[in-house]
Amino acid sequence: MNKKLKLICLIFILTLNFSCVEKKSTEKEIIKSELAITSKTDTLIFTSGIRAIFHDSKGNYWLGSHKEGVSYYDGKTFEYFTTNEGLSDNQIRSIQEDNNGNIWFGTANGVSVYDRGKFTNYLTKTNDPTLEWNQTSGDLWFYAGEKDGINRFDGKNMNYLIFPKPKNQSPNNSYGVTDISKGQDGKVWIATYAALFYFDGKAINVFDKNKLALKENEVLHIRTVFADSKERIWIGNNGIGVLLLQENSTINFSDKNGLIHPNSSKNGNHSPAGTLEHVFVIEQDSEGNIWFGDRDTGAWKFDGKIMTNYTIDNKLSTPMIWSIYNDKNNNLLFGTADGGVYKFNGKSFDKTF
């Protein structure tokens, strides 16, 4: 084979190889494009509980799941974000919006903020705090894992603030934050498993078993707290039902309304129908009714006089309600343990997402 022929063969082989490489590169781009498309769906595909619901200032919905990340609904499609897209963790415990329109997610492992398509993550600091409660500012509060404090974002820093734990308490008590509620007066109520904390902007106060005047067989295991429009504080427990704190006195609201079973173990054991013993969420609707989401018995409404129990959907595998949310259009939405969202229509519930 002469040199000219060899050169032609070499050029042909190089051209062929380049074509193959270019084709493989194009195939990769197509695959990436297809993956991006499959991250959007026409219907919500979560199967784990909806722990948080948020209706933002632009009218979009954000749905936080128990272990599958976040879904964003713009009125047409659902888009999904997980740790693969930058979230701190796939368990979403809270969703908020700041004054700049950024969306904040409190997760099981840190805090994530979504701004113009990007996530920025903040680790929840659990080192010794450097600031006192009254030395910090900011309206954004977040869970700090299972530690004995809470995080407050001041616009630049994620400050870790420690709780003044009650003296002579069992070392096994957990002060990990389970819920946060802001009253209309701007004061903040913070639920932990073993106690309720209250911050008035100057000092932090504690409401433990003794201060709440509980009975000997009533053990705090707080899962939620809600400050309503009448400045009543509702405390949802996993075991002893709902406590109502009003004008410095406490009653067991569930017990008063005959919703604690006579043979109740008053702990995490399963409770029968007709009881309100395991409350994980509390909300107020636009008409002033107070709603409770129970792990074992579904939704309850208190209209000021009467308690009414509702079944969300007989087809659900469990009646547990993870979240209740009153949106900007005064729709009352219920996030279920099965991963769906229902809207109350005044009499029953319609599957919304």
Model-level pTM?
Answer: 0.86
Query: CB–CB of 122/87 below 8 Å?
Result: no
DSSP string of 207-253?
A: E-TTTTT--TT----EEEEEE-TTS-EEEEEBSS-EEEEETTEEEEH
CATH 3.40.50.11810 is held by the domain 212-353: no
How does pLDDT run along the chain (353 residues), one tens digit per residue? 444 444 444 433 333 333 333 333 222 222 222 233 338 999 999 999 999 999 999 999 999 999 999 999 999 999 999 999 999 999 999 999 999 999 999 999 999 999 988 999 998 766 677 789 999 999 999 987 767 899 999 999 899 999 998 876 776 778 999 999 999 888 999 999 999 999 999 999 999 999 999 998 899 999 999 999 999 999 999 999 999 999 889 999 999 999 999 999 998 899 999 999 999 999 999 999 999 999 999 999 999 999 999 999 999 999 999 999 999 999 999 999 999 999 999 999 999 99
Alpha-carbon dihedral 256, 261, 267, 271, rounded to 10 degrees: -120
**Residues 6+ positions from 214 with CB-CB distance below 8 Å:** 220, 240, 243, 250, 252
Task: Report the C-alpha gap between 81 and 118 in whole angstroms.
Answer: 11
Domain boundaries, the chain: 212-353
- In sign, the C-alpha dihedral spanning 65, 68, 69, 70 is negative
Task: Report the C-alpha gap between 327 and 63 in whole angstroms.
Answer: 12
